[in-house]
Structure 1
Amino acid sequence: IMFRKGRGLFELKENEVQQILMGDNSEEEDNLLLDGTITEHTDSTRPEPSTSAPVNEAQHQPVFKWNSRTYALNVFRDVEYDFGKVQICQEAENGLLTPFDIFCSAKNFDNLVQYIVSESIRYAHQNGREFTIDPEEMKAFLGMNVVMGYHILPSLRDYWSTEPDMAVQFISNVMPRAPFEDIRRNLHFCNNEAVRYITSSNYDRAYKVRPIIEHFNVSFQNALNNTVKQSIDEHMIKFKGHNVMKQYIKNKPVKWGFKLWCRCDATGYLFEFDLYTGKRTSGIEYGLGESIVLQLTKKVEGLGCEIYMDNFFNSPLLQYKLIDQNTKACGTVRTNRKQLPKTAPADKTMKRGDIYSTSFHCISYVKWMDNKGVHLLTNFLSPVETDIVKRRKAGSADKIDVKCPGIVSHYNKNMGGVDLMDQRKVCYEIDRRSKIKYYLRLFFDLFDIS
């Protein structure tokens, strides 16, 4: 395809056109790149999507024929599973469990410390430095960082100051400043000599913290069984240094930093997460939001959990795929998603409280007019159930009753798990700048969450 641009011509190849047409448009996530290379597959089995193994969506994409007059409730399979069962610290020797006991058991803390000790010593020796440390010293170092998170001074060295208004005896009596800085200088989480070269097809940009990510993911999931209601959202880690994985997201409290995709329950407990590392180098993935949901729900596939998500992730095709995995889903949706019904009324023809709904294959699309149009998709909630919400009357302080879809109430009640985790984490967090060693910011953020 040839296009005229100014006085010359430029060419668009077929796969580039398909990338533009198939890529999910993201207003707030403009810097998140999609891989649009098209490959042919002849495998007729159902795909098992993940961000590391892209699949061809064309073979399994249905033709959505929406009907506003019929709705059939999808019947999900019941499974025997102890939802929300605590798997750690069943009993203590003296019958009393301390918060530290729970922390060590839930996060497999001793194994984590032993691993960090061995890799930090290896890292120092690889750089020609003499360095020794034992697990108890590493635990003391991490504990001191926790204290520094709630007892905040202008600079790190102020904790060892001789000035009476600055000195913190609780810190200086545990470890002198020089050994503390030496541990921080050599803190490391992987073997640099075992890293694949950057041109390798399976090169991992997050190799510096990949073992830590895997450790916490396993620990979080082993400590608590999955709960019924969960949500998927993003979590930003503040970072302004130079790194290819750094993102800029406008209209966010933390605009610069690393992005984690998280799956939490309604109480803010983090079950699973993954670090966004950038564009894939080969193959085709589902829309970015869809692929993230499919990746993070693999561990709950078949359990019948309810997954709530915002409009960055949701789409009709995702709802269809989650039905096959016996996973219930609900969330807002962007109006430019493919396969959405074209028959929804325009905003100007609707007044506050008006509801439009249509269905296909047990998937319901609902448009509700509040102050502006609200668009939702679900594969398990009825579109005809309604609630009443209070809204302020225009030009008055009085409130009036407005009819609202029941789907909105379910979404508002169960969507805030990741936000609740963020709220709890920032109360007392380890926030020491590290513009060069970016992986320290990632590690301490995960340590705060744990």
Structure 2
Amino acid sequence: MAGAHKADASLAKGGSSIEAAFVEESGYHTLPSCRLYWSLDADVGVELIAKAMSRDTFEEILRFLPSTDNQALNKDQHISLDEAMIEYFATGTIRDNRIPKTCPINSTNEMKKVPRRDIDVVVDNIHKILLVCWKDNAVVSVVSNISPVYPLESLSRWSAKDKKKISVSRPYLIRDYNRHMGGTDRMDQNINCYCISIRMKKWWWPIFFWVIDATIQNCWLLHRVDESNLSLLSFKRYIARTYLQKAEPRLGIGRPRQSSLVIPDVRCDSIGHLVESLGKQAWKCALSSCKSRPSQGCMKCGVPLCVKCFANYHRRAL
């Protein structure tokens, strides 16, 4: 396909870096339509993006990302088509009503009757999931596919019944959960502050964009070790501007276009509309009925105009 070859050529020239920089900028510079970033209107257009990559090239790359030949897939691989499309490793608490009734683990009510520090464990060998119920001050249910039960950790707890401190054994995965709890929530909060705003029809685009956002968020956390005062917004802007400014400026930007709209209240206010020289011939006069190529225009409206069209353009009706 010609489009695929064009996209591959753009990627080979560093288009993927520019593409990533642009989608990241959309997280803190949000517009209702992707094409508005290439608009000539001052309130929406982004010159840095327009100079780095054309709109058509950007859309062409989006069509063919990720660059994978589905006909060349290894048919011996197991491909998941259910909800678990992305394998991940985690440890977290789980409510009783989320545990299947067929699971042989003791319920919370049953665990309340056992002595403090008792542990009940169930392992799902098929899905590699570990479920643990632990009796402390209250019953804690934790599920994990990465942390083990052992080694047990001895804790000192005050016993209201015995009126003294007692030794309580705590599973390793409970310790692991307590140490890292809240990290996912903080990551989600950071990502949602400046998440990529571009929306596509393909179902996997949110996953693809989330990976980019999560990667930059993690890089920012590592960067804060040395630069603790740099905000996430400043970090993302630095990355986006660096890749966009490093891009080789486009030589041919296509046919020069006029601004899509000069607001009538500005165009017809009869204030400050002066003729200025453009220094070269424009592509076309801003008055739609005129086909000439003027070398002067309106200083306030910022459009090329013939001398004979100047007055007609600044009237209410065009």
TM more than 0.5 = no
TM-score by length of 2: 0.45
Larger Rg: 2
Instruction: Flag the structure with more relative contact order, 1 or 2, with Cα contacts below 8 A and sequence separation at least 6.
Output: 1
TM-score by length of 1: 0.34
